[in-house]
A and B are shown apart, each in its own frame.
Chain A
Amino acid sequence: MKKIQRRSFIRKSATAAAAGALAAAVPASALGEEKKSRIVVVHGNDIPKMIAVGIEKMGGWGKFFKEGKKVALKPNLAWKSTPEQGGNTHPDIIRAVILAAEKAKVKQIVIPENTCHSERETFPACGVLDAIKGTGAKLYRPKGNDYVSVEVPKGKICKKARVTRDLIEADCLVNMPVAKHHGGAMLTLSMKNWMGAIDNRTRQGWHRQGLHQCIADFSTYLKPTLIIIDATRILLDRGPQGPGPLAHPHEIIFATDPVAADAYAATLFKKKPADIPHIRIAAELGVGCIDLDKVEIVRVEV
């Protein structure tokens, strides 16, 4: 256990250092007192192209996928829902990312997802089986020993969690949720998506102890290398399961700051980011920047 923490600590400091180095490369005029968060919003209809353009604006795949490294993807595939119904991350996005990772000759691609409906129902329905077809990506639902216990040092309520081992051991962790309405958490965005990274007992514990605080607590621990939020179509009500009324922003959001990404995505639902408790608490815990005025939003049309 300690070993993992140390490893993840080293990894995190390395990413922080990399981020620092990157910030240094940005012209000094762009830097205020604090390091400015930056998100890329791509609008369009051609998903593979949107991904390619968005990543290019984020600095290119080379920044995230390195040869011989392990890549973990965490899409949201919780419910039996077709790609059109918007309950899950669009399979085309998953495929585009897998293909990019294979092109970068990464060592391994894993897609662990603790579903809500049985994986036997959700995986075939949501199109992900087609998305991984012909690739080396390993899609599975973690059970039993696939989880490890970790401590969440900065957590207020959630101090311990059982997390999918593959996610914390990955060199590159891509959080790729779908943006949708959620009965309990108000919205499902990138931080809420970690509820598919923990085991059912931890998940139920969060509901018992205060969902928003726990989501925010956990986001201080598990830091994604890259966030890709699927907002090509968004479920406006009857979430998280759906089906329900949809809107079609036709957007994909790219970021490294989970709070900034979620804050922007919340505006697609015509909500103020601070009105979503877990986003507000996460910002207070220093996970990221909630003030969209201070976030550099790069908009691209494809």
Chain B
Amino acid sequence: MKWLRRNALRLAILAAAALCAFPWADYLPMGTKVPPAWVKAVLPRLSPLLNLFGALAAREWVGWTLLLGVPLLVLSFFRGRVFCWKFCPMGFLAETAGLLNPRGRKIVRRVPRLNKALALVIVVTAACGYPLAIWLDPLCIFNGFFAAWRTPLAVAAGATGIGFVVILLLSVLMPNVWCHRLCPLGGLQEALMEAGRKLLSRGADEDAPRVMGGSMTRRAVLAAAAATAGVAAGRTMGANAARAIRPPGADLTRFNALCARCGNCMAACTYKLIVPDFGETGVDGLFTPVLHLRSRRVATDPDFDSYCFHDCVKCTEVCPTGALRPLTLDQKHAMPIGIAVIDRSKCLAWAKNEYCAVCDEYCPFKAVRLERKGDVSYPTIDAALCRGCGSCEAGCPAEPIAVVVRPLKVEEMKR
């Protein structure tokens, strides 16, 4: 009871954060009022690592939601890690999990402090445009677990929830190690707190150097190493860009770096097209979102609408890092995510001279050109109008499918 009363606020925040991240639309009957999509992004956007440094890395003004990352910076500058002990839902769970192992309490003392170094690496590499380890952010990890509970439940769907499970297990085995030694968001706050103390108490006492810990040169070396790694990573990451179809608004060449794997876009997709990648886009693209249209779906459910609906931008509204730029409908209508290609050897019109034109019927962009000869209309794709939504692919009655969307090449990307 005492514990309950002491932690009432943290419990309430935990519940609210979980409720916001959960994909309600999947579980409630249609027409039920569900929280709007952007609610999912509020918690991760509170983290400056995701929000501010994500946008810095993306070199993109993603809107006023950036300001959500500011309070934590200010708070930690003046008050230290108040957020961690009072508000952070992941921290609360990790701390509670640690209570299960009272005998392991002293382990934390033997673990080196890596949190500030991790924060420094993220900040420096973000400045280089290729943030490394942005997915270690605790709010992103927390969010990813709840976002993973979207239907249909599959092992693959749960990929974004792994970090959450790992932190809890770690916290049972080695209580407090996550919060005190590893968490980069905690590290960032600690660094800011120390900077704050140093600045605010300048000349007042000689405490500052002692609290700081670590020498300036060591940090400079680390920062330089991180910057080098960031640039090197950037060189390799662009290479895999054209391997898969990404959700709309994605920055293809840097996506693997910018994406925090929070799972928000996957949970927001009404059509369940966005799935975690298991290596299609390279090792650095693990668990990043890729769009699987009809021809890529593992189990093809004939009752399923497997195309990126033209009047929907939900996934772009919920991305906390700017890896998916928030789009308006007009922007989405102007931006291709892939290009449909007709295989004439399979097409009913081209191969069998039969009237079909279902691709044209489904295409919301009128990108299918029909050339009428006699009773048959022969379709071709106007690449300038095609947005790669996959409506044609979803509707194509040919067996096997005669029209398939291919990923964009880097030079075809409009952003």
Binding site for B on A (CB under 8 A): 80, 116-121, 123-124, 129, 141-144, 182-184, 199-201, 203-208, 210-211, 238, 240-241
**A-facing mask of B350-367, CB < 8 A → 1, else 0?**
000011111011101010
Minimum C-beta distance from B296 to chain A (A): 18
B312 partner residues in chain A, CB cutoff 8 A: 121
Known: A116-B362, A118-B271. A208 touches B355 (CB 8 A): no
Contact with A along B217-229 (1 / 0, CB 8 A): 0000000000000
* Residue interface mask B22-36, A partner, CB < 8 A = 1: 000100001100000
- The interface size bin for chain B is 20 to 34
**Is A208 within 8 A of B398, CB to CB?**
yes
Q: How far is the CB of A149 from chain B (nearest CB, A)?
A: 14
Contacts of A200 in B (CB 8 A): 302-303
Complex CA–CA separation, A35 to B271 (angstroms): 50
User: By the criterion CB–CB under 8 Å, are B348 and A207 in contact?
Assistant: yes
B361 and A183 contact, CB distance less than 8 A? yes
Taking A207-B397, A241-B362 as contacts, is the C-beta distance between A80 and B30 under 8 angstroms? no
In the complex the two chains form, what is the Cα distance from A123 to B396 in whole Å? 23
Query: Pick the contact of A184 from B271, B303, B357 — CB < 8 Å?
Result: B357
- 25 A-B pairs with C-beta separation under 8 A: A116-B362, A118-B271, A118-B309, A119-B30, A121-B312, A123-B30, A124-B31, A143-B303, A182-B361, A183-B357, A183-B370, A184-B357, A184-B358, A201-B302, A204-B358, A205-B397, A206-B397, A207-B356, A208-B348, A208-B354, A208-B397, A208-B398, A208-B399, A210-B354, A210-B355
Contact of A238 among B311, B366, B396 (CB under 8 A): B366
Interface contact A120-B30, CB-CB below 8 Å: yes
> Which of B303, B309, B362 lies in contact with A144, CB distance below 8 A?
B303
7 closest A-B pairs by beta carbon, nearest first, are A204-B397, A207-B397, A200-B302, A118-B305, A143-B303, A208-B397, A183-B361
Rounded to whole Å, the gap between the CB of A277 and the closest CB of chain B is 9
B400 to chain A, nearest CB (A): 12
Max chain B CB contacts within 10 Å: which of A119, A206, A241?
A241
- In angstroms, Cα B399 to Cα A129, docked, is 36
B22 to chain A, nearest CB (A): 17
Interface of B is mostly: loop
Q: A residues within 8 A CB of B396? A: 204
A207 contacts B305, C-beta separation under 8 Å: no
- If the complex has contacts A204-B397, A207-B358, A211-B355, are A80 and B348 also in contact, measured as CB distance less than 8 A? no
List of A residues within 8 angstroms of B348 by Cβ: 207-208
A121 contact set on B, CB distance < 8 A: 270, 309, 311-312
Known interface pairs A80-B309, A141-B303; 11 further A-B residue pairs with C-beta atoms within 8 A, sorted by A's residue number: A120-B25, A183-B370, A184-B356, A199-B302, A199-B303, A200-B302, A201-B302, A204-B395, A204-B396, A240-B361, A241-B362
Bound: A87/B1 CA distance, A? 59
**Do the beta carbons of A184 and B361 come within 8 Å of each other?**
yes
Residues of B near A204 (CB, < 8 A) are 358, 395-397
Q: Which residues of B are found within 8 Å of A141, using beta-carbon distances?
A: 303
The answer to whether A241 and B361 touch (CB under 8 A), given A121-B309, A204-B397, is yes
A208: chain B residues at CB < 8 Å are: 348, 354, 356, 397-399
Give B263-277 as 1s and 0s: 1 = Cβ < 8 Å from A's Cβ atoms.
000000011000000
Q: Which of A124, A183, A184, A241 has the most CB of B within 10 A?
A: A183
Chain B, Cβ-Cβ closest to A212: B355
Interface centre among B303, B360, B366 (most CB of A within 10 A): B303
A129 to B33, CA, bound (A): 13
Closest chain B residue, CB of each to CB of A162: B302
- Check A117 against B305 for contact (C-beta < 8 Å): yes
Contact A183 B360 (CB under 8 A): yes
Known: A118-B271, A121-B312, A208-B348. A184 touches B355 (CB 8 A): yes
In the bound assembly, the distance between CA atoms of A238 and B364 in angstroms comes to 10
Residue pair A241, B303 in contact (C-beta under 8 Å): no
CA distance A211 to B31 in the complex (A): 34
- Shortest distance from the beta carbon of A253 to any chain B beta carbon, whole Å: 24
Q: Nearest-CB distance from B217 to chain A (Å)?
A: 58
Residues of the B chain whose Cβ atoms lie less than 8 Å from the Cβ of A120 = 25, 30, 270
What are the residues of chain B within 8 A of A183 when measuring CB–CB?
357, 360-361, 370
Contacts of A201 on B, CB cut-off 8 Å?
302
Give complex CA distance A124, B29 in Å: 13
